[in-house]
C-alpha cells in the first residue's frame, strides 16, 4: 500500500482516539450521560450514527460475496436477519419502546413485568441474552477485520507468544479492536455518535467513489459474459436455478454449502421468521440504545426512518461496484485456482486491484470506520446491561456515578477479551452470520413478540421462553450440524413458544397496576382487552387504533427499502430500464409513507 494511503488511515485512527478522550469529560457525568448521551443528542445525528453502526465491514464482505454468487437474488438473502426489521421499528416499535423512558432493554423488563420473582428472572435472562449476542458479534467482527487487514497492510506481524502461534490476521484484528475499544471506553455514547457521524460521511464518499469507478470501468454487456443465466433475475421459483458450471465451477460448491438451492423454501422460512423476529422488536444492543437515546418517541421513529433512507443506497452502491468489478476482472483469475476459493476475500481483493492511490486510503479509512462504528456501538451497549442491570441492581445499588462508570470500563474490556477468544475459534464470517441471525435470534422471537401484544403473558413466561430459546439455539445446530440454521427456525420458535405458554399458565398474571401503567404509557395494539377496559375508564386515554395503518405502512416500507437495495445494483450493472422502474416505485412508496406514516407523526409531535 502506498505511503499516501497508509498516512490517511493512520491519521484517521489518531483522530478517533483523540475525539474519544476529548469528549470523555462530558460522557462521565452519570450513567445516562455515558450510555444514552443524556437524551440530548438530535435524532438526525443518532440516525446517521445508527446507519454507520449497521455499515460494518464483515457484513459488507459477506454481502459482496453473496452478490457475486447469487446475483440480483442476493437482495433477498439479508431477509435472513431480516433486514426489514428496521421497518417495523420505524412504523411503530420505536414509539412503543421510547415511551418507557428506561436506560436499557433489561430495565424495560421491569417496566413491563414489575419487580417480583418472575420479572427478576426475566431481567436476568434478557441481560444474559444481550451479553451472549454481543460476544457473538465481537467474534464475527474479529474474523472479518482480520481477513480484511491482511490484504492491505504489508507487514507480517505473525508471532509466537507463550507457546501459541498468532497469525498476522489475528494480530491486525487485535490491534484495530484495541484502538476502537479505547475510544469507546473513554467517550461513551457521545464518543460513539460523534465518531460515527464522521465515519458515515467518510463511508458515503467512499461508496460514491467506488460507484463511479465501477460505472466507468464496466462496459455494457461485460457482466453477462461472466455470469450464468438467471444471475440478473431478481425473482425466483422453487429452485435457485443458477448453474455456474463453465463459468466458475467452485461457486456451485459454495451454493451447495450455503444450503440455498431450494430458494423458494428458503424465502418462505425467511418471511416466517422475519415477521416474528421483526415484531419482537430491537434486540438488546446498539439499535435499542439509539432508540432509548432519543429525546422523544416521535424522534425515535424519525431516527429509525432516517437510518433506512441513508444506509441502503450508498452501501449497495459500494457492494454492487466492488462485486461487479470482481466478476468482470477477477473471475478469469479465480478460474485458475485449484481447491476451495475463500469468497469472503472478494471485497478486499477488488479494492486492492481497482481503487487508485489516495482514494484507496480514503476508502480503507471508511471501511475501518464502518468496522469501528459497528464494533463501538456494541461495546457501548453491552456494559450498559452489565453495569446497570447486574452490578448496580444486585451487587452495589448504592454505588456513585464514578464507580459505575469505572466498572463499565472494566466490563467493556472483559466483554472484548471474551469475544475475541471466541473469534479465534470461528469458522468464517458466513457461519457466524447465519448462527447469529437464524439460531440465536430465532430463540429470541417468541417471548419478545408476546411481551408487546398479550396482556396475560408474565415474567415467568418470558423467562421460560427466553431460556428455552437459548437452549434450543445452542443444541439444535449441534444435533443437526449440516442443516442451515434458518431451516431450524420453526423448531426453535416452537420450543421457545412452549416455554412461554408453560411459564405463563403455571403462574399468576402480572399485577393489574403494573399492566395498566405499561399499557397506558406504551399504548400498543394487540390482545389487551381486560387492561384496555380499565384504561378507558380514564376519559383522557385513547387506545391505539392504528393496527391496519401500521400493517399497510410495513408492507409499503418493505417495498420502499427493497428499492434502495436494488436501485444501485441495477445502476452499476447498467440495467437502466429496471433502474428507472425501481426509481418510480421508490418515489411512489415514499409518497405513500409521507402521507400514512410521516404526517401522522408530525401531528403526534404537536398534540
Return the domain boundaries, the chain: 3-436
Out of 1-15, 80-94, 166-180, 282-296, the most confident range is 80-94
pLDDT range class, residue 488, cuts 50, 70, 90:
confident
pLDDT score for 288: 77
Q: What is the pLDDT of residue 285?
A: 63
> Which of the pair, 232 or 259, is modelled with greater confidence?
232
Question: What's the pLDDT tens digit per position in 383-434?
Answer: 767 777 777 777 887 877 778 777 777 887 888 887 777 767 665 555 555 5
Separation CA 380–CA 36 (nearest Å): 9
Instruction: Find the range with the poorest average confidence among 151-165, 318-332, 408-422.
Output: 151-165
pLDDT score recorded for residue 341: 67
Q: Quick one: pLDDT at residue 189?
A: 55
The answer on pLDDT for 72 being more than 60 is yes
Mean pLDDT of 324-335: 83
Q: Check residues 400 and 510 and name the one with the higher pLDDT.
A: 510
Q: How many residues does the chain have?
A: 607
CA–CA gap between residue 15 and residue 22 (Å, rounded) = 10
Q: Judge whether residue 27 has pLDDT over 60.
A: no
pTM confidence score:
0.85
21, pLDDT greater than 80: no
> With the C-alpha atoms ordered 459, 521, 526, 296, is the resulting torsion angle positive or negative?
negative
Q: Tell me: the pLDDT tens digits for 558-606?
A: 999 999 999 999 999 999 999 999 999 999 999 999 999 999 998 886 6
Residue 590's pLDDT is 98
Please state the rounded mean pLDDT for residues 503-510.
Answer: 95
More confident residue, 109 or 304: 304
pLDDT digits (tens, 9 = 90+) for 369-386: 667 666 766 776 667 677
pLDDT of residue 344: 66
pLDDT value of residue 528: 96
Percent pLDDT > 90 in the chain is 35
Look-up: residue for cell 465515519?
199
For 188-220, how does the pLDDT look when each residue is reduced to its tens digit (9 = 90+)? 555 667 777 877 888 888 889 889 989 998 888
**Average per-residue pLDDT for the chain:** 83
Q: Which residue has the higher pLDDT, 191 or 167?
A: 167
Mean pLDDT confidence for 307-336: 88
> Residue 562 has what pLDDT?
98
Q: Out of 54-58, 455-459, 537-541, which region has the weakest mean confidence (pLDDT)? A: 54-58
Question: What does the alpha-carbon distance between residue 290 and residue 77 come to, in Å, rounded to a whole number?
Answer: 26
Tell whether the model's pLDDT for residue 279 goes beyond 90. yes
What is the band of 352 on the pLDDT scale with cuts at 50, 70, 90? confident
Choose the weakest-confidence range: 37-41, 91-95, 129-133, 267-271: 37-41
Q: Which residue has the higher pLDDT, 479 or 142?
A: 479
d(CA 91, CA 600): 11
Other Cβ atoms closer than 10 A to 165: 9
Residues in Cβ contact with 186 at an 8 Å cutoff, skipping those fewer than 6 apart: 20, 21, 23, 24, 27
**Do residues 39 and 291 lie in contact, with contact meaning Cβ atoms separated by under 8 Å?**
no
What's the CA dihedral at 447, 452, 456, 461 to 10 degrees? 20
Whether the per-residue pLDDT at 531 is higher than 90: the answer is yes
- The domain over range 3-436 is classified in CATH as 1.20.120: no
pLDDT at 131: 77
Among residues 51, 72, 580, 126, the alpha carbon closest in space to that of 384 is found at 126
**Greatest CA separation for the chain:** 75
pLDDT at res. 200: 83
Q: Which residue has the higher pLDDT, 28 or 334?
A: 334
Separation of alpha carbons 264 and 404, rounded Å: 50
Burial class (CB in 10 A: 0-12, 13-18, 19+), 274: buried
Coil, strand or helix at 164: strand
Q: Is the pLDDT of residue 550 over 90?
A: yes
pLDDT confidence of residue 606: 62
Region 270-279: mean pLDDT is: 91
Amino acid at each position: 500500500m502506498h505511503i499516501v494511503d497508509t498516512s490517511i488511515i493512520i491519521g484517521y485512527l489518531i483522530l478517533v482516539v483523540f475525539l474519544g478522550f476529548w469528549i470523555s469529560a462530558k460522557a462521565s457525568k452519570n450513567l445516562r450521560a455515558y450510555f444514552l448521551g443524556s437524551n440530548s443528542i438530535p435524532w438526525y445525528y443518532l440516525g446517521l450514527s445508527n446507519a454507520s453502526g449497521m455499515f460494518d465491514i464483515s457484513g459488507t464482505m459477506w454481502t459482496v460475496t453473496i452478490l457475486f454468487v447469487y446475483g440480483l437474488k442476493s437482495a433477498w438473502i439479508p431477509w435472513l436477519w431480516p433486514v426489514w426489521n428496521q421497518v417495523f421499528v420505524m412504523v411503530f416499535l420505536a414509539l412503543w419502546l421510547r415511551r418507557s423512558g428506561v436506560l436499557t432493554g433489561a430495565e424495560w423488563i421491569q417496566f413491563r413485568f414489575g419487580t417480583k420473582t418472575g420479572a427478576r428472572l426475566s431481567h436476568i435472562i434478557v441481560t444474559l441474552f444481550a451479553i451472549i449476542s454481543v460476544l457473538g458479534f465481537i467474534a464475527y467482527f474479529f474474523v472479518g477485520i482480520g481477513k480484511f487487514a491482511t490484504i492491505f497492510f504489508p507487514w507480517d506481524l505473525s508471532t509466537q507468544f507463550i507457546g501459541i502461534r498468532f497469525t498476522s490476521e489475528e494480530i491486525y484484528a487485535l490491534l484495530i479492536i484495541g484502538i476502537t475499544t479505547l475510544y469507546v471506553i473513554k467517550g461513551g455514547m457521545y464518543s460513539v455518535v460523534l465518531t460515527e457521524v464522521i465515519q458515515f460521511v467518510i463511508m458515503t464518499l467512499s461508496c460514491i467513489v467506488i460507484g463511479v469507478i465501477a460505472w466507468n470501468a464496466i462496459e455494457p454487456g461485460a457482466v453477462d459474459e461472466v455470469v450464468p443465466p438467471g444471475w440478473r433475475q431478481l425473482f425466483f421459483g422453487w429452485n435457485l436455478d443458477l448453474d455456474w458450471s463453465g463459468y466458475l465451477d467452485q461457486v456451485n460448491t459454495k451454493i451447495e454449502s450455503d444450503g440455498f438451492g431450494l430458494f423458494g423454501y428458503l424465502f418462505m422460512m425467511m418471511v416466517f421468521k422475519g415477521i416474528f423476529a421483526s415484531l419482537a422488536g430491537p434486540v438488546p444492543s446498539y439499535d435499542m440504545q439509539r432508540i432509548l437515546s432519543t429525546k422523544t418517541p416521535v424522534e425515535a421513529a424519525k431516527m429509525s426512518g432516517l437510518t433506512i433512507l441513508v444506509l441502503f443506497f450508498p452501501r449497495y452502491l459500494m457492494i454492487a461496484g466492488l462485486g461487479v468489478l470482481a466478476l468482470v476482472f477477477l473471475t478469469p483469475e479465480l478460474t485458475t485456482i485449484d481447491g476451495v476459493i475463500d469468497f469472503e476475500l472478494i471485497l478486499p481483493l477488488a479494492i486492492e486491484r481497482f481503487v487508485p492511490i489516495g482514494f484507496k486510503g480514503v476508502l480503507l479509512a471508511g471501511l475501518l470506520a464502518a468496522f469501528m462504528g459497528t464494533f463501538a456501538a456494541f461495546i457501548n451497549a453491552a456494559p450498559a446491561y452489565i453495569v446497570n442491570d447486574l452490578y448496580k441492581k444486585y451487587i452495589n445499588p448504592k454505588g456513585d456515578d464514578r464507580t459505575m462508570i469505572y466498572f463499565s470500563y472494566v466490563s467493556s474490556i472483559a466483554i472484548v477479551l471474551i469475544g475475541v477468544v471466541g473469534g479465534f475459534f470461528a469458522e468464517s464470517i458466513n457461519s457466524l452470520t447465519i448462527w447469529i441471525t437464524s439460531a440465536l435470534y430465532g430463540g429470541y422471537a417468541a417471548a419478545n413478540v408476546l411481551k408487546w401484544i398479550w396482556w396475560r403473558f408474565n415474567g415467568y413466561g418470558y423467562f421460560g421462553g427466553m431460556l428455552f430459546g437459548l437452549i434450543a439455539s445452542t443444541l439444535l445446530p449441534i444435533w443437526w450440524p449440516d442443516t442451515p440454521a434458518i431451516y431450524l427456525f420453526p423448531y426453535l420458535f416452537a420450543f421457545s413458544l412452549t416455554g412461554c405458554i408453560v411459564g405463563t399458565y403455571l403462574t399468576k398474571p402480572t399485577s393489574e397496576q403494573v399492566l395498566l401503567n405499561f399499557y397506558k404509557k406504551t399504548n400498543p395494539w394487540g390482545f389487551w382487552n381486560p387492561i384496555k377496559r380499565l384504561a378507558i375508564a380514564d376519559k383522557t386515554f385513547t387506545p391505539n387504533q392504528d393496527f391496519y395503518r401500521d400493517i399497510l405502512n410495513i408492507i409499503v416500507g418493505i417495498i420502499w427499502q427493497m428499492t434502495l437495495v436494488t436501485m444501485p445494483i441495477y445502476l452499476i450493472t447498467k440495467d437502466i430500464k429496471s433502474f428507472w422502474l425501481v426509481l418510480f416505485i421508490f418515489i411512489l412508496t415514499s409518497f405513500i409513507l409521507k402521507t400514512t406514516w410521516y404526517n401522522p407523526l408530525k401531528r403526534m409531535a404537536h398534540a
